[in-house]
Each structure stands twice: as structure tokens, then as C-alpha cells.
Amino acid sequence: MKPTAWILLLGLIAGTAAHFGWLAWTTPSRMPQGTDAHLAWLRDGLGLTDAQFERIQVLHTNSAPQLKALAARVEQMRAELAAFEQTRRTEDRIDFLEFARFVEQRRRLGRECARSTERLVAATAEVLTPAQRARYFDLLEPALKRRPDPSS
């Protein structure tokens, strides 16, 4: 077999292995299920008392419907953006007025998501002791820095 064929075959095998490895790693069955499991890291990482954990669990449970609704709207916006892109590619045209409306809606939704997150983080922080609160913000800092600017 020629060296080129071997290289292509090895590339195909490596790509397939990487794809299935990623899928196996990110499958929902490996992710914690339910609010308790998602908040377990908080209990362990901050040394929460049972009362603190219950209060935080209630906060997260109460905010879950709104967060799920926002997540659905974000997903809808992603689908709309994909449709805009598909139209641009296939028909080589863009409805700039419609796209401007989309961008403004996306900004509003980003601000709404940011406010919702900030409210949940602030409410959670109120339950914590000062030392726990400092650790909580240290743990959240990388995620909060990664969050896109809602004004853009």
C-alpha cells in the first residue's frame, strides 16, 4: 500500500476514534441528573450545611423554569442564525433589516440571560457565610469571565 493511502487510513481511524471518544465523554448519562447532583459540587466545594444546601436547592429549583425557557429561546435564536447563514450561502442574499432585528433580539436575550444569572448568583451568595461567598465567587470567576458581553 502506498504511504499516502496509509496516512489517509490512519487519519480516518484517528478522526473516528476522536469523534466517538468525544461522544462517549459528553453523553448525558455521564452528567449528573437532577438538581441535587448538579449542586453536589457546591456542597462539597463550599462545605455547606444541610440548611444552606436546602435553601440553595430551593433557589435553583424555583429558577429552573425561567432558565429553561431562556435556554429554549437561545436555542431558537441559534436556529434562526443558522437559517440566515443558510440563506446567505444558498441564495447569496441577506435581508439586512431582518438581520438587524435578529441582532437586537439577541442582545436583549443576552442581557436577560445575564440578569437572570446574576440574580441567581446573588441570591445564592446571600445564603453563604463570607468565607464561603469568597470561595463561591472564586469558583465562578472563570465561567463569569467567559460569558459573552450581553451588549454586543
> Mind listing the pLDDT tens digit for each residue in 63-101?
989 989 999 999 998 998 888 888 888 888 777 888 888
Q: Report the distance separating Cα 132 and Cα 47, nearest Å.
A: 8
pLDDT in tens, 27-64: 654 444 555 667 888 888 889 999 999 999 999 889 98
pLDDT > 70: what percent of the chain? 84
* DSSP single-letter state for residue 47: T
* pTM of the predicted model as reported, rounded to 2 decimal places: 0.63
Helices (H), 93-129: 96-127
